[in-house]
């Protein structure tokens, strides 16, 4: 495990949020924890950028939010992926794979 | 879809601010709680946990501000607040506001009034449907040698030419003929009251071809022309003056040079005839009675139908859609040349040939050529007046900003960005200009009325959408010109020095 966690790579937070929500509907804190867990502690999105991303995705119609009770009897806003969000996630994943492979090829060139 | 959603969500934030804020508060609060709970599981006490979360993720209020400024509505929100603040600041110095607005209003009003004259005299089409299809027929080098005219050499035609050209339906959907009953006015009698009025004799298709609409009754038909019917159409203003807009005017008899005519229609408001510099009062179909000869000509000299060598008819045509002027000329020229020779016998091969041409119906016929230069010069002059007004207001603003140096310094010291200050001050300038423009528009309304009365043109100088557009354009350029000029000095105040050297504004303890 690296000694310091950092904010996610610029421009990828939207995609990561979509991916997290594709697994199951979740609230803001859950998304943040999930991203940290799945990245094994490399990424730790701060609350400001996270909620900004959520607001943006919601306005683009990629996710929907709903108030629901949490397990310890409080209220939190849970987000689910819409059909459009699912399509966007698969297209972005494809595109990201292409770009990452290209960058890797460049860096490995000797 | 997503645009609509974006718009809807933004509007919701704007107009249900309270609720949106509360939801954001709750959501972020919950986030904080959950993060803290996580830390408490690891053994921290509650207070330390909350503090740790804040240290890691920044303060709640900071986060809220970040999320709030993410949407487009935050721009609208700040703009609105800027506007309210600008109103408050201007109300603090009513004298300055009044002087600045008056100066601008005079400049803008003058420009608008002169432009409205230019619009009417030079630019505006006749108020008829599809005016671009309408053309006046012209003879730039006059009629052929050996014919008689009425003095209007470049726009008069003979009856045979009219008859030949009006059959060219591939070019003209309608060709309308008109001529005055006299150079000036003719004697008219309504009931017992004799008076003088301006009247035209026109072809049967005059109103239908032009597309004139009617307030009351109807226009002429082609049968009215062939039968030389005794019917008359009144202009809206003549109907207003002589009949007080009474509906019973239709069917009444008016005597034109002693000949009785029945009123059958009143044209719509805004139609002043084809040469609106002097409006036409009434129209009758073409007549063949000697006492109603065109131009008040002595019948023993010339008559409309009997003298092919008398060029006395003015023509306006409506092109078939899609026909261009050059195509039309190509088709019409041979027809015109042969009809022009009717009554002249064999032409002298050395005599000059008449050339047919078209002139657009933009502006006021006859006034356009005479007044183009003067109006442009006048517009340049009032433009200068506006520039001076702008310079004055600009100086006023600089002076005012100098007295506000302390205010700016305090705001910069408290963390306002310079771009934020610039925006605030631009809002103030735009507000000033908006007030000046509104006032100027009112000036322009009375100004253009005064100009119309002074110039003796009988139609009003209309302030239409084109004039409004012009006014808005000059106002916005004003706002930018003098709004930006004084800004530099204002936002580059040396904050520390100003704060130290200016008086404290709170009472000593």
Chain A, 42 to 71: residues with Cβ < 8 Å from chain B are 44, 46-49, 51-52, 55-56, 58-61, 70
Mean pLDDT of the region B191-216: 91
% of chain B residues with pLDDT over 70? 92
B63 touches chain A (CB under 8 A): yes
Residue that has been written with the tokens 């000697």 in this structure? B290
- Look at residues B369, B380, B468, B486 and name the one whose alpha carbon lies nearest to residue B425: B486
Q: What does the pLDDT read at residue B163?
A: 92
Mean pLDDT of A87-95: 93
The answer to whether A87 faces chain B, any CB pair under 8 Å, is no
Above 70 in pLDDT, residue B506?
A: no
User: What does the angle CA B94 – CA B96 – CA B99 come to, to the nearest 5 degrees?
Assistant: 105
pLDDT of residue B505: 57
Residue of B nearest to A72 (CA): B34
Work out the pLDDT band at B2, boundaries 50, 70, 90: low
**Interchain CB contact of B62 with A (< 8 Å):** yes
Q: Rounded CA gap, B4 and B408, in Å?
A: 39
Mean pLDDT of chain B: 84
What's the pLDDT score for residue B493? 65
B chain contacts of residue A56, beta-carbon cutoff 8 Å: 70
Band of residue B67 on the pLDDT scale cut at 50, 70, 90: confident
Q: What distances in angstroms separate CA B299 from CA A79, B146, B202, B294, B303, one per listed residue?
A: 95, 19, 18, 9, 5
Which of B64-73, B130-139, B405-414, B479-488: highest mean pLDDT? B130-139
| Tens digit of each residue's pLDDT (9 = 90 or more) over B292-314 | 888 888 888 888 888 888 888 99
> What is the number of other CB atoms lying within 10 angstroms of the CB of residue B433?
27
Q: Check residue A2 and give its pLDDT.
A: 43
Q: What is the pLDDT of residues B109-120, one digit of tens each?
A: 888 888 888 888
Residue B185 has pLDDT above 60, yes or no: yes
pLDDT exceeds cutoff 90 at B486: no
Lowest mean per-residue pLDDT among A77-86, B137-146, B362-371, B381-390? B362-371
Quick one: DSSP state of residue B120? I
Of B57 and B144, the structure prediction assigns the larger pLDDT to B144
Which residues are CB-contacts of B326 (< 8 A; sequence separation ≥ 6)? none
Structure confidence by residue, pLDDT tens digits, B16-46: 778 888 888 888 888 888 888 888 888 888 8
**Cβ neighbours of A67 (radius 10 Å):** 12
Residue B135's SS3 state is strand
- CB of A29 less than 8 A from some CB of B: yes
Whole-number Cα distances in Å, B375 to B82, B114, B379: 41, 8, 6
Residue B490 has pLDDT above 70, yes or no: no
The pLDDT of residue B228 is 92
Query: With an 8 Å Cβ cutoff, is B38 touching chain A?
Result: yes
pLDDT in tens, B218-264: 999 999 999 999 999 999 989 999 899 999 999 999 999 999 999 99
| pLDDT at residue B82 in the model | 86
Consecutive H or E run containing B465:
helix B465-484
Report whether B294 contacts B198 (CB < 8 A).
Answer: no
pLDDT at residue A1, as a whole number = 39
Residue A91 pLDDT: 93
Mutation for testing the B interface, residue in A29, A79, A85 having most B CBs under 10 Å: A29
Q: SS3 letters for chain A?
A: CCCCCECCCCCCHHHHHHHHHHHCCEEHHHHHHHHHHHCCCCECCCHHHHHHHHHHHHHCCCEEEEEEECCCCCEEEEEEECHHHHHHHHHHHHHHHHHHHHHHHHHHCC
The model carries a pTM of 0.62
Interval B310-326: pLDDT, tens: 888 999 999 999 888 89
Residue A3 has pLDDT above 50, yes or no: no
User: What span, in angstroms and rounded, lies between the C-alpha atoms of B310 and B294?
Assistant: 11
For A2-26, what is the mean pLDDT? Answer: 79
C-alpha to C-alpha distance for B226 and B206, rounded to whole angstroms: 13
The rounded distance, in Å, linking the Cα atoms of B421 and B414 is: 12
Residue B212 has pLDDT above 60, yes or no: yes
**Contact flag B9-A58 (C-beta cutoff 8 Å):** yes
% of chain B residues with pLDDT over 90: 22
Token pair, residue B381, equals 């002059």
Q: Is the pLDDT of residue B487 over 70?
A: no
Cβ proximity of A44 and A7 under 8 Å: yes
CA distance B250 to B252: 6
Question: Which residue has better confidence, B508 or A100?
Answer: A100
The pLDDT value recorded for residue B379 is 86
Do B30 and A52 count as a contact with CB atoms less than 8 A apart? no
Q: A38 CB near a chain B CB, below 8 Å?
A: no
Nearest-5° angle of CA B166, CA B324, CA B368? 85
For residue range B277-292, what is the model confidence (pLDDT) as tens digits? 677 899 999 998 888 8
Q: Given CB atoms, is B33 within the 8 Å cutoff of chain A?
A: yes
Cβ distance B66 to A49 less than 8 Å, yes or no, reads yes
Check residue B254 and give its pLDDT. Answer: 92
pLDDT (mean) for A15-43: 90
Our CA-based measurement puts residue A72 at a distance from the nearest CA of chain B, in whole angstroms, of 10
Judge whether B217 and B231 are in contact, CB under 8 Å. Answer: no
- Please give, rounded to a whole number of angstroms, the shortest distance from the CA of A65 to a CA of chain B: 11
């Amino acid at each position: 495990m690296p000694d310091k966690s950092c904010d996610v790579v610029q421009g990828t937070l939207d995609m990561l949020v979509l991916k997290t929500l594709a697994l199951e509907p979740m609230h803001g804190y859950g998304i943040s924890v999930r991203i940290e867990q799945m990245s094994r502690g490399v990424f730790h999105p701060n609350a400001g950028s996270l909620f900004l991303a959520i607001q943006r995705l919601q306005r683009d119609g990629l996710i929907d939010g709903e108030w629901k009770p949490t397990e310890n009897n409080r209220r939190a806003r849970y987000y689910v992926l819409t059909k459009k969000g699912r399509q966007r996630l698969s297209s972005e994943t494809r595109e990201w794979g292409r770009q990452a492979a290209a960058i890797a090829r460049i860096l490995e060139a000797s | 879809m997503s645009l609509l959603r974006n718009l809807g969500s933004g509007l919701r934030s704007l107009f249900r601010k309270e609720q949106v804020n509360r939801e954001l508060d709750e959501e972020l609060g919950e986030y904080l709680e959950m993060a803290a709970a996580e830390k408490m599981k690891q053994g921290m006490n509650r207070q330390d946990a909350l503090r740790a979360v804040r240290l890691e993720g920044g303060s709640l209020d900071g986060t809220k501000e970040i999320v709030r400024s993410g949407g487009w509505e935050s721009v609208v929100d700040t703009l609105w607040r800027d506007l309210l603040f600008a109103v408050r600041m201007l109300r603090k110095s009513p004298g300055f506001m009044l002087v600045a607005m008056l100066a601008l209003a005079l400049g803008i009003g003058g420009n608008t009034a002169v432009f409205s004259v230019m619009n009417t005299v030079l630019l505006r089409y006749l108020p008829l449907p599809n005016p671009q299809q309408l053309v006046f027929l012209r003879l730039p080098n006059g009629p052929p040698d050996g014919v008689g005219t009425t003095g209007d050499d470049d726009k008069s035609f003979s009856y045979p030419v009219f008859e030949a050209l009006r059959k060219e339906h591939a070019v003209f959907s309608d060709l309308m003929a008109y001529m005055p009953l006299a150079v000036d006015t003719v004697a008219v009698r309504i009931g017992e009251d004799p008076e003088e009025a301006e009247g035209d004799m026109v072809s049967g298709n005059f109103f239908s071809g032009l597309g004139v609409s009617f307030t009351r009754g109807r226009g002429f038909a082609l049968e009215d022309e062939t039968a030389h019917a005794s019917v008359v159409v009144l202009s809206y203003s003549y109907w207003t003056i002589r009949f007080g807009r009474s509906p019973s005017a239709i069917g009444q008899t008016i005597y034109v040079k002693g000949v009785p005519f029945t009123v059958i229609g009143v044209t719509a408001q805004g139609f002043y005839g084809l040469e609106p510099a002097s409006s036409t009062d009434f129209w009758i179909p073409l007549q063949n009675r000697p006492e109603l000869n065109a131009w008040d000509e002595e019948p023993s000299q010339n008559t409309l139908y009997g003298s092919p060598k008398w060029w006395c008819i003015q023509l306006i045509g409506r092109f078939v859609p899609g026909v261009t002027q050059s195509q039309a000329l190509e088709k019409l020229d041979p027809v015109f040349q042969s009809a022009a020779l009717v009554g002249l016998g064999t032409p002298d091969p050395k005599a000059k040939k008449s050339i047919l041409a078209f002139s657009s119906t933009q502006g006021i016929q006859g006034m356009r050529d005479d007044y183009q230069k003067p109006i442009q010069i006048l517009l340049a002059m009032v433009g200068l007046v506006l520039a001076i007004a702008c310079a004055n207001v600009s100086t006023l603003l600089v002076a005012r900003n100098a007295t506000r140096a302390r205010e700016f310094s305090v705001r910069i010291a408290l963390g306002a960005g310079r771009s934020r200050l610039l925006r605030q001050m631009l809002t103030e300038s735009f507000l000033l200009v908006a007030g000046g423009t509104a006032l100027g528009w009112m000036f322009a309304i009375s100004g253009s009325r005064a100009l119309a009365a002074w110039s003796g043109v009988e139609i009003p100088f209309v302030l239409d959408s084109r004039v409004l557009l012009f006014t808005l354009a000059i106002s916005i350029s004003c706002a930018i010109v003098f709004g930006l000029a004084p800004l530099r000095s204002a936002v580059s105040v040396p904050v520390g020095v100003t704060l130290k050297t200016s008086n404290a504004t709170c009472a000593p303890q």
